[in-house]
Each structure stands twice: as C-alpha cells, then as structure tokens.
Structure 1
Amino acid sequence: MRKKLLNIAGYAFFFLSLLSFLLMIYDLGFKYDAETEAAIHHLNSYLLVIFFVALLNRFLAIVVWKARESKSRLTETAVLLFFVVALCMRFFMRSEQLAAIPWISFFNGSVFTYMVFLYVFVLEISRRTFKIYHSRYSPALLFIYSFLILIFAGAGLLLLPRATHNGIGVEDALFTATSAVCITGLAVVDTATYFTPFGKKILLMLIQLGGLGVMTFTSFFALLFQRTSSFQNQLFMQNLVNEDKIGQTFRTLIKIVTLTFIVEAVGVLLIYSSLEHQHFQGSEVDKWWFAIFHAISAFCNAGFSLFSEGLYDVRLRYNYNLQLSIAGLVILGGLGFPVMFNLYKYFKDRLLNIYFRLFSKNQYQYRPRLLVLNSKIVLATSAFLLVTGTVLFALTEFNNALQEHSVYGKMVTAFFGSVTPRSAGFNTVNMAALAPPTILVYLLLMWIGASPASMGGGIKVTTFAVAFLNIVSIGKGRDSLEIMNREVPNESLKRAFGVIFLSFMIIGLNIFLIMLFDPGHDLIRVAFEVFSAFGTVGLSLNFTPELNSFSKAVIMLTMFLGRVGIITFIIGFMTSQKTKRYHYPAENIIIS
C-alpha cells in the first residue's frame, strides 16, 4: 500500500509540474485580459505552495533524515536550499519589505516563479528519462523519437501568438523548428524581423537542445540531481556519448554538457569584445543578446543569425575579429567531443611532463600514443580541408567576393569561407553572387561535413578519409587498410562505403523529387539546397523561401536524416539479425 501511495504521489507531482510548465507557456506565449491574468496569478501561488512543501520535504529528507547521503547529493542539496530559502522569504516577508531590497524583490516576481516551475518540470522529465531506457525500444529508435518530439514541440512553441509579430503558418513553423533542432540554419522566413524576442529565445533553446541532444540534456539533469543509475541506464547511454568504458559513461556525459557551456561562455566574451557599440543603438542588452545567440548558434553549427543578411550585414562584413571568433567556435563544435577530450588529455600530459622536468625531482612517467587514431584522422583531414578550402576560395573569388576587402580581410574571408560550408551556415559574402567553381567546392565541403559525434552533419570527415585511403590501399595491392601503424577493421570500411552510397542515393532522390514536383528552378540552386540540408549547413543561394509545400517537406526530411545520421536511422527501424555461426562458400564477383 505504501508503494502504491508513493507511485500515485509521484504521478500527481509529475502532472502538477506539467501543469505549471503549460501555465508558464500560456502566460508567456498568449495575450489575455486582466481577469485571466488574475486567475493565472492565483494558480501560480497555489502551485508554488505545493512545490514549496515538496522541495522542503525533499531537502529535509536529504539533510536531516539521510545525512549520510548528503555528501553525494551536494548539487541537489544546494539547489533545494536556494529554492527553499527564497520561497520562505516570499511567503513570510511582506511585499513592502521585499520591494525595499532590489535583489531580494526578485524572488517576488514572475521570473523567479517560472524558475521554480522550470526546475521542477525539467527534474521530473529527467528522472523519467531513466525509466524510458528500460523500454524495449532500441537506443537508436529512442534517439530518433527524441528529435521528432522536440521538433513538434518547438513548432508548437513557434505558433504561439507572442512568438512572432504577425503570426506564422503551421508549415513554416514546422520547417523552422526542424531547421533549428537539426542545427541547420535554413529559413523560409526572416529570423531577424519575423520573430519577437520571445520567439528568438525559443529558437535558441531549440538550437541548444538540438546540438546536445534531448536525451543527453535530460540524462545530465537526472544524473546531476539523482547521482544514481542502473547498469542498464549506463549501457543505454554508452553509445549515445561514444564512451568505450561503461563505467565512465555518466562522467563523460557531465563533461560534454560542462564543456559545451564553458566554450559557449568564452565565445560570448570573445564575440561581445569584438562588437562595435554604435551598431546596437547604444544598448548593452542587445549587444550581450547578440553575443549569446551567435555563440550558441556558432558552437552548435546552426547558422542562425539575428541580422537579416547574416554576417554579410554591412555592420559585420568587415568585422574580422568577430568572424575569427565565430570560426573558432564552429571548428570546435565540428571537431566532436571525443576529439576535444582526447586533445585535452594529450596537452595535459605534455604540460605535466614539462612541469616535472623543470620543477620536480621525480621524473614524470610519459604515456605514449595519447592521441587515438580517430583523433589523428579527424585533425589531419579537417586541417587538410580547411587549408584546401581556403586556397580554393581565394583563387575562385579573388576578383569577385574578395575584391572589396583588404589583404588581411581577404585572408580572413577566404578562411571563413572554408569553415562555414563544413556544417556552420554563416555567410560573410553574397551567396547568390558566388562563382560556379566556388559553388562546386562548397558542394564537396557540405557533403563531407564535420566530425562524428559533433554538432555537424554530412558523411563525416572520418568516412571520407577512410574511403579515400582505402582506395589508395587497393591501388597498392594491400589486403587490409593500415593507417598510422594501425589496421582499420572491415566493419568500419563497410560502414564508410555504406554511408557514402546512401548519401548519394538520398541527395540524388531528393533533387529529383524537387525538380519533378517543383519545376522551374535552376538545377544548381536545387542541388545546393539539398546538399546544404543533408550536411545540416544552412547555406542557401536565396532559394529556401521559394520552396513549395512538397519541397519544404523534402528538405525537412533531408535535414532530419542529416542530423540523426543515415546509419542510425536504418538501425532504428530495421531488426538486427543474430550472428550466424556458419559461412557460405565464397565466390568472386567481377568489379572493375
């Protein structure tokens, strides 16, 4: 009976948290009269009382009744203490007393109320995420469903009256939400003028959740405030965070989220310091908001901008420090978390080795081969593509897009032009005026994309490198593919060529469908749009707003497949077979 009562109380608290979240959305997203506002205020007060009792009970349970567990729940205890003290001040102090102290009066406002509602809702959703991992669905399928749920939820939020100035259609809202969640950047409406500040905040939230992944985000909060997980939960999350050791799964999860926020915070400071104050009508708030939005959009490789012409706007076109800051964020977001963690270990070990040699009598034990083969391939291929793309862009656009820039400006613009088609989507030149050779280079770079387990799309640089080196290996008559004194397993080769073949099939089919059901468009513009959608790049030859309903659906599906990955999509919807313990007789097939 006690267990049943606890389950009923748990479900009731979950539905109350859901009610509070919906109430917050209604208050922020709809327009209403004074009578409705009073009703919302009273309902908010009732919910706050319930949550206060629940949070106080939880705080006492950890600190008083289970003192031994308080050290392992330090984060949850600190957050609970903050909310309990703040709610005590709100309920037991007079409004005049709160208003007399500016920073304390914050706890009496609607912003703090919604902080409580959001905390409770996210915590309840996160805790139930672990229960989903025990379901019969495969991790790949749940990964796909999480993006679909976020897309439809985001479209619903963009349809709120206060999200846009003059309203938005269901079709355009769904397209914009798909582009934001799939961190692409293609837009059928002007982001800068179409959406209100509330709508732009929704877009930013979708970009951040789409970049990290819904399950990564919710599992992070569940771990942060729960600190315990089953073996099945760790096994489920192992493939999601690309961790080899199952015991390190949730530690890697925390490092992913923490590193994301640290890099984005540094990016905000760099972008803010590079902006000119007069371009933001003398408003510091607008300047900080621009820096925050573009830092997150750049690191997540989304490509959304608050200016109608993007970074090609005359106020930003010649701001080369800003472009270098955004390019750095794009490159880091495109490297992938496994590579960044591996680089951290490498440089940490190098610095410790130097320190012990100079300042310590004890010799530091150096560990060789800190950089794994995957990191070496990603770094080498990415550097090659960046250098090659910069040189080709400079050669093809020297008398065109680069003509109006200084020598330093030509170098930065050419470098940025090599970075952005690798899944970023920002533009510092007029895309519609690019020379045909530049467009062909962009098609190749968009198709290759970024690194695996990163914010970018495309077939990934490791797939391109493995396929290319395998061709060289075949030409030399070798039986296996060897890279940097390591042998690449046949499973990786099969996946690489499978991804390449499927990418051409999807891109070719979607180009054909758009040309068939939306005739009258130039083939180059259609191909560029499809390549951009598949690579989740977001660059366009000013073609996206011209799409009809069918073409928008095709582009949305292409963006979705580019984000979740072709192999992941196939694994999610196809039943895997058990390993066979027999082999058929081999017979050669003529391939020339």
Structure 2
Amino acid sequence: GRPLMAPAMQFVASLGVVILAGTGLLLLPNSTYPGITLSFTDALFTSTSAVCVTGLNAVDFAHTFTPLGEMFTLALIQIGGFGIMTFAYFVAMVAGQGFSLRDRVLLTDLLDEGNLGAVVSFITTIVVSTLFIELCGAVLLYFSWEGKDINLMGEPLWWHSLFHSVSAFCNAGFSTFPMNLMEPGIRLCYSGQAVIMALIVCGGLGFGIYKEINSRLANRFFSKHRRLHMQWTPYFKLVMISTGILLAGGALAIFAVSSPHAAEPLGEHLWICLFDSVTARTAGFNISDYGRYLPAASLIMCGLMMVGGSPGGTAGGMRTTTCAIAGAEILRILRGRDHVEFFRRRIDQRTVARCVITVVVSCAWIGCFTVLICALEPSMSSLDIFFENCSAFATVGVSRGITPDLSGPSKYLLIVNMLSGRVGLFAFLIALAGTPTPRHYRYPSVKIPLT
C-alpha cells in the first residue's frame, strides 16, 4: 500500500520527536550545574540547535551544562549529523532487522540514491566513514592541544577533543570551551584549527562524494577490471570546484574588505579570514569576535552562509549545487542557449527549475523572518538580526552576540528557521503543503509582457 506519510513529512516528524526527547534530557537536573535553572524555551532552542547541527546558543553552553548534559548534546549532534532516518535504519540493520521494500523506497527518496539495492551499502558507507573521520579528528586534536594552557572545566582533554571533532565534522559548531575556539590557550594553535577546518570541509562535502571515492578506490585496488578508467561524475566535479571557489573566494573577499581595519599582523589576519570562510559554510566555530567585523565583511559571510555546504552532508544552506545550477540558468538565459550544461552534460529542466525556486524562496524566507524579528526586537541592529537569521537557516551557528538577549517569540522563530534549514526549505514546504494532487488537463497558454 501507499506510505502513511510522505518522506519529507516523515523526516520533519522524526526531527521533531528527537528534538523534544533531547529537550527533556537537557531539562534533567543532572544535565545542568547546581543553581542553574534552564527554561523550557532555552532547552528546546539548544536541542533544536544540536539536532539541526546549527550551534547557536541561547545560554553559556560550557558553564551551563555538566558532562552529562554535554554527552546528551553530543548524541543529538551525531544523530542530526547522520540524519535521523539514516541513524534509525542503521540501528535496525545492526539489530538484524531487515528492510521492507517500502523502507528502501523511502530511503532512496531521502538519500537521493536511485538504486534500491545500493541503499543498505550507502547507509553503511555514511556511518563508517563518519565514525572513522571523527575518530581520526579526535586523535589529531588531542595531540594538537596537549600541553596547551586550556581551561578544561575539570574534564579530560580527550573528551574535549572528541566533542570538538564530532561537532566540527557534523558542522555543528558547539564548543565545550567557555570562549569557543577563542580560548587563550588555543586561539593561536594553528595545527588544531587546521584539523577543525579539514573536518568541517569533509562534513560539508556530502556522503555522495565519499561513496564515489569508495567505489573508485575499490575499482582501483580490488576490481578484476581495474584497467578500465573510471570517470569522475559531473556531480563530483561540480561539488569539488564550487567548494574550492567558495572557500578561496570567501577568504579573499573577507580579507579584502576587513584587512585595512585589522588589528592582527597580515599573515595572522589572512589565516583568520580563511578560518571564517570555512566556518561560515555552516560550522559555526569562531577564533575571532564576529561583532567586530564591519558590515561589508558580515554581509559576505551571510552570502557564504546562505550557500552552505553540498547535498547529502552535514552542512545546511541552499547547497553548492543548487546555487551553481541557478547561476548557470541565469547565464543560459543571457546567452540565449536552450539548456544548462556542465561538463558536457545537460541538466534536466525540472532540476533547474527547483534550484531557481529554492534560491528565490530561501531569500524571501530569510527576508520575512528578519522583518518579523526586527519588529519583535526594535532595539537591536537589523544587520545583527539578518546575520542571526542567515546563521539559523543555514545551520551555521555563528552570531554577532545577540542570541542570549532575544525574547521568547524571537527564539521560537529561529527554531523554525533552523528546522527548515536542516530539512531543506523545499522539502520543508512540501511537507507542510502535503501530497500534491495531479492535474490531467492544461489551460491554453498566453503571453504576458515583461518589459
């Protein structure tokens, strides 16, 4: 029979259930330090921020949550990073429960995997590659930070290393240090920052990229037909090229508008700009105070946040491929061509239309939420509120310092923003609109003047 709920709605509902469960866990007395009472709104905000791998904090995370509260948060980040449905099906698979055909069809929709038979191996690839990269990251961070004068808050260094590795790979941006990565002992620890940046980029590439690398390595070393040359797919090339352009271009753009006003030496400032360009792609760590950035640099970061990471990964935003295809559609119209083409391949027109709609609706969505919160918070800067909304929608988690001062209604608007950004705005709106009813007729066309 037909599934009871559309895949998009099922994903939204499962996110909601995990967020509410996380809220309950964070409200437990042992989750916060004695004398600290967490409100329901702040617990819900933190849980949503963790499951949607955002990293915005309505409270001082390091001083509010005990090691147990941090463990709950880390579990929520990891589940959110995998994707709830992927995590649930992996647990079922480990427990020895089989997949029904309906389950496989649902997963092909959610993972954008066309081959029904490959779904199980794809889930295994996602989970194994994630855990392997996070473990390597934790080991490298431990050795980078060992011996540094860090405020460990009474917890072992390996725990901080593991927490930051998972938080970085899942593009969450949560930190167990009181000052995030601006902590005096590690603010200038470049090796640790390089590890964090590598983890952020790896998480933001998307699991489809790892699947392609895996199959290429398997073909190269284990296949009988390894003499056959495997071509990288257009998707792989598009993701890698757009990621490289955004990282380098973003760093240079931030450097160009902020360097005349920088207090640090030139080399150190360029490094900070590179780190900010990486973290703006939905990770949310900071080694500098974003409140000190001039409006031009903040707006560049908003643009980077809006684009976000690549499909199928732990990052949010409109996605690199969506923006690349929407940009190519503008060029196609200007050049008078019939189709959008990448690497000698034609992009399906329905895909192009979806990309353009996603960009337009996302910009309108953030505009509406910015206006609403500006109306609720008349004393706050509109730039700060716009920055906060871009950060929430793109599940980034950087802030110009206004999150704890927001009123309850504003926090709930940001919760909706984080949820829509994690699910993907297009999927979120489809989930709200319900199953479309097909039409079996067409009206005659008409020409409307446009200029």
TM normalised by structure 1 equals 0.72
Unpaired runs of 5+ residues, structure 1, are 1-132, 357-361
Output the CA distance in 1 between the equivalents of 2:434 and 2:255: 48
CA distance in 1, matches of 2:336, 2:10: 43
Structure 2 contact 216–230 (Cα < 8 Å) conserved: no
2:425 to 566, 573, 577: 566
1:306-335 deviations in Å (ceiling 9; x for gaps): 112211121121001111100000001101
The 1-side partners of 2:287 and 2:175 are apart by: 12
Cα drift, residue 343 of structure 1: 2.8
**Contact 1:193–1:308 at 8 Å: present in 2 too?**
yes
Is the CA contact 2:3–2:102 (under 8 Å) kept in the aligned structure 1?
no
Mapped contact 1:134–1:233 kept (Cα < 8 A): no
What's the offset of the Cα at 1:456?
1.0
Corresponding letter in the other structure for 1:442 = M
> What amino acid does structure 2 have at the position aligned with 1:140?
A
Q: 1:169 maps to what in 2?
A: 39
Equivalent residue number for residue 112 of structure 1? none
Letter of the 1:404 partner, please give it: E
Rounded to whole Å, the distance in 2 between the matches of 1:579 and 1:176 is: 40
* Aligned equivalent of 2:209: 339
- CA distances 1:198-251 after superposition (whole Å, capped 9, x unpaired): 111111111111111222112101112215222222112112222111011111
Equivalent-residue separation in structure 1 for 2:211 and 2:269 (angstroms): 33
Q: Counterpart of 1:330?
A: 200
Partner of 1:270: 140
Q: Equivalents in 2 of 1:497, 1:533: separation in Å?
A: 21
Q: Alpha carbon RMSD of aligned pairs, Å?
A: 2.2
Question: Which of 247, 258, 273 is the aligned partner of 1:414?
Answer: 273
Q: What residue identity is the alignment partner of 2:63? A: T
> In the alignment, what sits opposite 1:387?
248
SS at match of 1:412: helix
1:229 to 88, 93, 99: 99
**1:133-282 to 2 correspondences below 5 Å:** 135-165=3-33, 166-226=36-96, 228-280=98-150
1:367, distance to aligned residue in structure 2 (A) = 3.2
1:367 corresponds to which of 215, 229, 249: 229
Residues in 2 aligned to 1:450 and 1:329: alpha-carbon distance in whole angstroms: 13
Q: CA deviation at 1:282?
A: 9.1
Relative to structure 1, the CA distance from residue 273 to residue 405 in structure 2 (aligned partners, 3 Å threshold; closer, same or farther) is farther
Equivalent position of 1:446 in the other structure: 305
1:195 and 1:499, CA in 2 relative to 1: closer, same or farther beyond 3 A?
same
Structure 2 gap ranges (5+): none
CA contact (8 A) 2:150 2:183 kept: no
Asked if the contact 1:324–1:412 (Cα under 8 Å) also holds between the matched residues in 2, the reply is no
Report 1 or 2 for greater relative contact order, CA contacts < 8 Å, sequence distance ≥ 6: 2
1:504-583 map, 5 Å: 504-577=363-436, 579-583=438-442
Question: So what's the TM-score if we normalise by structure 2?
Answer: 0.94
In 2, Cα distance between equivalents of 1:205 and 1:291: 15
Relative to structure 1, is the Cα distance of residues 560 and 281 closer, same or farther in structure 2, using a 3 angstrom cutoff?
Answer: closer
Shift in Å at residue 589 of structure 1?
3.0
Query: What SS class does the counterpart of residue 429 from structure 1 fall into?
Result: coil
Structure 1 residues 309 and 280: CA distance shift in structure 2, 3 A = closer
Counterpart of 1:28 in structure 2 is none
Superposed, 1:24-173 pairs within 5 Å as 135-165=3-33, 166-173=36-43
Q: What is the letter of the counterpart of residue 335 of structure 2?
A: K
Match of 1:404 in 2: 264
For the 8 Å contact 1:389–1:441, the answer to whether it is kept is yes
Q: Distance in 1 between matches of 2:102 and 2:415?
A: 33
Name the structure 2 match of 1:3. none
Q: Provide Cα deviations, 1:135-160, integer angstroms capped at 9, x if missing partner.
A: 51111111101110111111111111
**Other-structure match for 1:42:** none
In 1, the alpha carbon distance for the partners of 2:421 and 2:286 equals: 20
**Alpha-carbon separation, structure 2, partners of 1:541 and 1:348:** 46
- Structure index of larger Rg: 1
How far has the Cα of 1:405 moved from its partner? 4.4
AA paired with 2:227? Q
Match of 2:356 among 486, 494, 497: 497
Deviation at 1:582?
Answer: 4.4
Q: Would you say how many aligned residue pairs link Structure 1 and Structure 2?
A: 449
Structure 1 pair 589–375 and aligned structure 2 pair: CA distance change class (3 A) = farther
Question: Whole-Å Cα distance in 1 between the matches of residues 214 and 255 of structure 2?
Answer: 33
Secondary structure at 2:70's aligned position in 1? helix
CA distance in 1, matches of 2:260, 2:187: 17
> Does the 8 A contact of 1:413 with 1:428 survive in 2?
yes
